[in-house]
Each structure stands twice: as C-alpha cells, then as structure tokens.
Structure 1
Amino acid sequence: MSTLVTGIAELVTNDPDRGAGPLRTIADAALVVDDGVVAWTGSRGAAPDADARIDVGGRAVVPGFVDSHAHLVFAGDRAAEFEARMTGAAYDGGGIAATVAATRAASDEQLRAALAALVAEMRAQGTTTVEVKSGYGLTVADEVRCLRLAGEVTPETTFLGAHVVPPGADRADYLALVTGPMLAACAPYARWIDVFCEPGSPHAFDGDEARAVLEAGRAAGLGLRVHANQLTAGPGVRLAVELGAASADHCTHLTGADVDALAGGSTVATLLPGVEFSTRSPYPDARRLLAAGVPVALATDCNPGSCFTSSMAFCVALAVREMHMTPAEAVEAATAGGAAALRRTDVGHLRPGARADLAVIDAPSYRHLAYRPGVPLVRTLDLDPVVISKRN
C-alpha cells in the first residue's frame, strides 16, 4: 500500500538529485512511501495519488537519525561515577569493570528488557537505525550473549571483546582469547569488530594489540571499527585508515598526520560530543576535519559510564554549540554521516529507493534541533494512514 505524506513545511532529503542547499531541502513538500520504501519526493502541489494520506501539519521531516555508535547491552548504574567526574575526577575507562560485573550478573530477561527500553527511547527521539556493541561481558559466553541480544533489535551488531582488559586478567592471555576462541564464538552474531585503542590507558589496548584484534576480525569476515584517539593522540586513527575501517570513533585528539590520513582515506570520523559533555573533556575539532574534507558522523555513544544519553538531537545541538558545526552540517552528520559510518546506502537519506525511515520535527525547520536544545521536538513518524493534527 502506498502512503502520501503531505503538509511538510521542509523536507530534508540528502538527495543530490533534488532539493536545495547543503541538505537538499524541499519547501512545502510531500513524499510517497510504497511498501516501506520512498517512492517519490517533491513539492506538495505535484504529489501523485496514493492509497492513504498522512498530513504532518506544517512540520519538518528529516531522514531518521542513524546512530552508528552505541553500547546498549548492559546492566547497572554509574551515576555516582558521573557525579565524581563533575567534581573533578578524571575519566580513564576504568569504570567499565563495574558495568561488566553487573552485566554478567544480570539475566537474559533483564538485559533484554533494558535494551528494548533504550531502543524505544531512541526511536521516540527520531533514531531509526542504531549500531549496538558488546563489550560488557568480556567472557566468551557473556560476549556471545550480548551480541545475540543485540541482534534481536538491529543488524548493526559489533563485537567489542577488546573493550578493556578485565581486572586480574593477563594482557597477553586475554588478547589471545579475544582474537581466538572469543572471536570464533562471536563472529556469527556480529557484523563488525571494534577495539578500544588507547595506549595511554592501562585498561585499553595499544597500537600493536589493536592491530592484532582488527586483523583477526577482518580474517573472520567482520568489518572494522575503532575507538580511536579519545583520551590522547595515538595510533588509533591512522591504524583505522590503514586497515580500511569504516569508522574511527571519538577522534578527540588529532595530529596533523591523523587529519591528513582521514582526508586521504575512506574512514569516517565519528564524533561523540555527548562524551565530552559527560566527562568535561575537550571537544573534537570538527571544523578542522570538515575543512580537510573528512567525512564526519555524529553518534550518541549511549553507555552507562561516559555518556548516558540516547538523544541524537542533543548531540546535534552540542555539535553546533560546542564544535562549531552549522545546523546543516550537524544534521547531515547525524543522518547521512552515520549511514556512511555503517556503510549503508539505504538509510540516512530520502532518495527514491531508500528505506522510509522518517523523523518529524515539531517545528517548521531542521534548524530547530539546535535552536531549541533539550526540547523533545523530534519523533519517528508512524506511517499508519491517519491524519496527524496540525501543529499549534
């Protein structure tokens, strides 16, 4: 059945073949969805007939957000750690051990319920595609369990056994486990492999260890992602580019060589400004990356320790206020940028043939996402053929 979505004050398409401006917007627009796929976009007056009709009453419509970095399978709470950081404690990744202990102790039902609640929270705020990592199990059985549960809510599952070295574990033995039996058990449940490459942290992995993890994952048929250069400048970004990783995530501390590598490769720089907000750390230099022509994505990094937000709209507002991105650049990074970071061509835009993942903003323009921070303006559009009341 086809559905006409009309009454759109501004339609963000990210479609180079139509629309105006950096986001290829269409004013006073409409679109047709047929069998879950965008079939047509254009001006409202030129809209074709359809089987059903939804009027969004003068609101803006954007592609659903693509959150390409999230840690959603976990148990427990680290609010006290957040409070300590707000009074001056530094973040070094060590608190992950507390979440690992709570996650191991939780039942499947408890983890599944918490995961479903977070995904529903994201969807209610306009996110329609989300990547979910493991990394809070750190045993073979628990990592498999986390990935199996993640696979119930998204095809974008990432094996992150190399999140940290568990307390008391021998580094060499744990690395052999991650690249051997754990990888073999987890690969059937994962699309991606990731590693926390941070030589300055006693809990994370240095460049040689990260390379071993990524090369083993690639040999097992997994795509590559890297937690890179979050706490200090290091080898993570250049390793990601060298190995053709889809995304280097964080990119907080970059050298000129890092930026040059990203500009010359195909790896997306995924920025996670909610982390800097939640850890009182310096923000990434988004303008430097954009000026160099580096593809940029925004994601939440939703997790219980360093950034417990599920709101992509909040990250858009942070990117504009704190990283000096324009509202258009931030929205593009949260949609098309996230899709590029996941190597997806069916989401992040509203070209004909795309998945009909629509987010409606209770305002006439995408600019309101940054203009009205903290206000719940955006939601996923339910395509049931009913008339939505007009905006007051």
Structure 2
Amino acid sequence: MSTLFLHGIGLLVTNDQHTSGARADDPLGAVEDAALIARDGQVVWAGRQADAAPQVARLLQGDVERVDAGGRAVIPGFVDSHTHLAFAGDRSAEFVARMAGERYAAGGIRSTVAATRAASDEQLRATLQHFERELASQGTTSFEVKTGYGLDVDNEERLARLAREVTDEVTFLGAHVVPSEYADDRSGYVDLVTGPMLHACAPHARWIDVFCDEGAFTAEEAERILTAGRDRGLGVRIHAGQLGEGEGVRVAVGLDAASVDHATYLSADDVAALAASNTVCTLLPGVEFSTRHPYPDARALLSAGVTIALASDCNPGSCFTSSMPFVIALAVRELGMTPDEALWAATAGGARALRRDDVGRLSPGASADLVLLDAPSHVYLAYRPGVPLVRRVWKHGVELRVD
C-alpha cells in the first residue's frame, strides 16, 4: 500500500465545493493552508491542514511519501480533451503564410496526411511518446488523441492503435476532410468511413468525431457518420463552428454529443441549444491565436449557462501548442474568462467533455492526478504567461518526470 501525503499547501484547488474548508459557493472548492492524502493512486482525504491530524493517524500507513508544498498551490492535473497528436510532418511554412495574411482553410490537413501515411509505426510511436512527456511537463495528466491524418482504412486503424498506447481517450476522426483520392466521390468516402474504416478503428477508440464545417463535411454527412459510430458503441464529439456558423451544434445536441469543439462562430440559437443540453462547449483559443480568427465569446456562453471546457487542439497545422497554461492565459486575456473559470474549464470542464468523473478534481475517490505549481495561487497561470510554473506532477499518485 503506497500513500502520498502533501502538506504545507498554500492553496489547494479540489473542484469540489464540499471539501472541508472550502466555501459552499466556490466551484473550485479551494482551501487555504491545506493538505491532501492519496492512497494507491486515489485521493482519500483533502482539506484544511488544521483538520488533518486525525486523518494522518488513520490513513498514513505503510510506505508513505511526504511532500512539503512550502506554501505553493496544488491543482488537479489538466484534462486536455482535444488533441491531434498522431501525425508526421511539418507545417511551419503554412504558419508563416498565415502570419503574412493568408486565410486558414481546412485543406491544409491533406499535407499532413501525406507525411503521416509515409511515416513508420516507430516514427509515429516516438512522436506520441514525445508529446506524452511534453504534456506531463506542463501539468496535463489526462488527454484525448484523435486520428484523422490517415484517411484510409489501414492508416486510420494504425493511428487509433498507436494512440491507444498512450491514452484510453482515442477518437476516430476518419471524417477530418475528404482525401484527395475521393475528391470526386464524397459519398464513396462517407461509405468508407461508416463501413470498413469504422469497423477497423472502433476496437481501439472510445469516441467518433466529424469536422462539420466549410471545406470539410456537411451536417447531413456528419449526422450519418456520427450515428454509425454511436451505433457501434462510440461516444459522439464534433468539430463545429470553427470557420463559420453552421448546423454542427444542431447535429451534436440531437445526438447527445459529449462536446462541440471550436465554437468560434455560434448563432443565438446555437448558444440556447447548448445551454439546454448535456453537451459541453470546448473552446480552443490557441487556434484563434494561430489562425488570427476572432476569439469566441466565452462570457456570453457562461452567462447563458453553457458548460465550457478548454483544450489545446495541439496539431501541426492550426495550433501547434500543447501548453494548457498558455491556453488558460489566452482564455483569461482574450475570451473574457476569470482565472477561476479558466482553471475549472481546463480541469473539471475537460473531464466533463470526456464524460469522466474520476479526473479533473481532487476529492475522495478521484484519481490522484495533481500538479504542484511554483506559485502561491492558480491565478499565476494567467498572471505570469509563458513562465514554466509546473514544479511537480503526479498521475495516479506516482510522480512523473517533468524535466
């Protein structure tokens, strides 16, 4: 039996309002002068250090790792619910062109498809493992990975299979764009995605996704593809509203999708539909930073009662960052979110977007996925943008290397 005892915590964010010492009206469940005990990878107690004495006597048994936080903040590990990490190739020239004024379009994905198809399993595996370490070094302990850069049966299957080696949250995104070889046969490609490709990828995936937007897939195509995936037991997610308003939100809410991602362009009806649904709106401000599109209005979504998640959308084309602290800083500066709202969205919000209740919080029963910041408060994530504030990281109670 292994036990982790963190004490001397200046500010502990639990995302549980019922935590001892937290205000009942505080969604972060934040506790000052706190301590936390985890056993065998799960949180078993968290609260004010002044209340810890009886818990210490009862719970600190066997092999105990004692960590003095020295007055620093401890937060849940970030939950990055939207990434595209299974790829090969480079699109830095495309970024330079955008910074010179060229408009972003979905078609650039096809250049990554060519490079990914040409890469070996060993190269792709090494890339995924590199990103797994990179994410951990920035405090991300749970993350999703999409396919979508293979766009044929064999390559989509191997991307899903290799992604499963680093995360259980694998999303089949065969409907990323229509590949060049099907440019004159869109319906044939949809048949492939909903048939042999889905059959090959479903055993490795938990989710199905569609890019429903200008230059990608129509609402009708998206609904057909997502329904086929749902019928195979996969959860539903959707890319929508990145390049303009459309019908993606309607499709998503109708299928009880876990999340609608991007949502840069939403109508008033879209916002109302999301507010009345169980679908999380996942915002990806790193994309707007990299593409120069307008930032979404998080304040309007929150005011309407929409649940928001923040994610990186790390990919080689429209947003090549894996840094959730950077995403939080953008959300505070550009999306109109408070530091508290941004942190919640990057942890508990991401968990909701993945329909998980074991991560994104630090209360009894949750996985002991936590981050010790080199700062007295989570506010410093936005207050000191670009500064590496992640000091130590644990996943399931085991410390990860962050150097």
State the TM-score, normalizing by the size of structure 2: 0.93
Query: Does residue 1:177 correspond to 2:192, yes or no?
Result: yes
Q: Which amino acid letter does the alignment assign opposite residue 120 of structure 1?
A: R
Take 2:5 and 2:151, find their aligned partners in 1: how far apart are those partners? 48
Contact 2:17 2:27 in 1 (8 A): no
Contact 2:308 2:345 in 1 (8 A): yes
Percent of aligned pairs with the same residue?
63
Output one character per residue of 1:183-240: Cα deviation in whole Å (capped at 9) or x when no partner.
0111101000000001x22xx1000000010000011110000001110000001110
> Which residue of the other structure, out of 155, 166, 179, is the alignment partner of 2:179?
166
Q: 1:379: Cα distance to partner?
A: 4.7
Contact 1:347 1:357 in 2 (8 A): yes
Match of 1:298 in 2: 310
> Which residue of the other structure, out of 31, 36, 50, is the alignment partner of 1:26?
31
Mapping of 1:50-61 within 5 angstroms?
50=60, 51-61=64-74
Q: 1:351: Cα distance to partner?
A: 1.1
Match of 1:316 in 2: 328
Q: Which amino acid letter does the alignment assign opposite residue 75 of structure 1?
A: A
Q: 1:250: Cα distance to partner?
A: 0.3
Q: Using a 3 Å threshold, how does the CA distance of structure 1 residues 152 and 89 change in structure 2: closer, same or farther? A: same
> Which residue of the other structure, out of 80, 83, 100, is the alignment partner of 2:113?
100
Output one character per residue of 1:43-87: Cα deviation in whole Å (capped at 9) or x when no partner.
112223223311121110000000000000000110000000000
Gaps of 5+ in 2: none
> Which residue of the other structure, out of 154, 162, 175, is the alignment partner of 1:141?
154
Q: Using a 3 Å threshold, how does the CA distance of structure 1 residues 26 and 107 change in structure 2: closer, same or farther? A: same
Q: 1:380: Cα distance to partner?
A: 4.6
Take 2:372 and 2:331, find their aligned partners in 1: how far apart are those partners? 20
Take 1:308 and 1:343, find their aligned partners in 2: how far apart are those partners? 25
Output one character per residue of 1:270-322: Cα deviation in whole Å (capped at 9) or x when no partner.
00000000000101110110000000000000000000000000000000000
Take 1:17 and 1:111, find their aligned partners in 2: how far apart are those partners? 43
Q: Which amino acid letter does the alignment assign opposite residue 102 of structure 1?
A: A
Contact 2:85 2:145 in 1 (8 A): yes
Match of 1:210 in 2: 222
Q: 1:42: Cα distance to partner?
A: 1.1
Mapping of 1:1-392 within 5 angstroms?
1-18=2-19, 19-20=22-23, 21-47=26-52, 48-49=55-56, 50=60, 51-169=64-182, 170-198=185-213, 200-201=214-215, 204-382=216-394
The 3-state SS of whatever aligns with 1:215 is: helix
Q: 1:16: Cα distance to partner?
A: 2.2
Q: Using a 3 Å threshold, how does the CA distance of structure 1 residues 272 and 384 change in structure 2: closer, same or farther? A: closer
CA RMSD of aligned residues (A): 1.0
The 3-state SS of whatever aligns with 1:359 is: strand
Q: Would you identify which runs of 4 or more consecutive aligned residues in structure 1 move more than 6 Å?
A: none
Greater shift in the superposed pair: 246-255 or 49-58: 49-58
Q: 1:384: Cα distance to partner?
A: 6.0
Q: 1:381: Cα distance to partner?
A: 2.1
The 3-state SS of whatever aligns with 2:130 is: helix
Contact 1:33 1:356 in 2 (8 A): yes
The 3-state SS of whatever aligns with 1:356 is: coil
Q: Using a 3 Å threshold, how does the CA distance of structure 1 residues 55 and 101 change in structure 2: closer, same or farther? A: same
Take 1:174 and 1:237, find their aligned partners in 2: how far apart are those partners? 23
State the TM-score, normalizing by the size of structure 1: 0.96
Contact 1:283 1:323 in 2 (8 A): yes
Greater shift in the superposed pair: 88-97 or 373-382: 373-382
Take 2:44 and 2:294, find their aligned partners in 1: how far apart are those partners? 43
Q: Which amino acid letter does the alignment assign opposite residue 26 of structure 1?
A: V
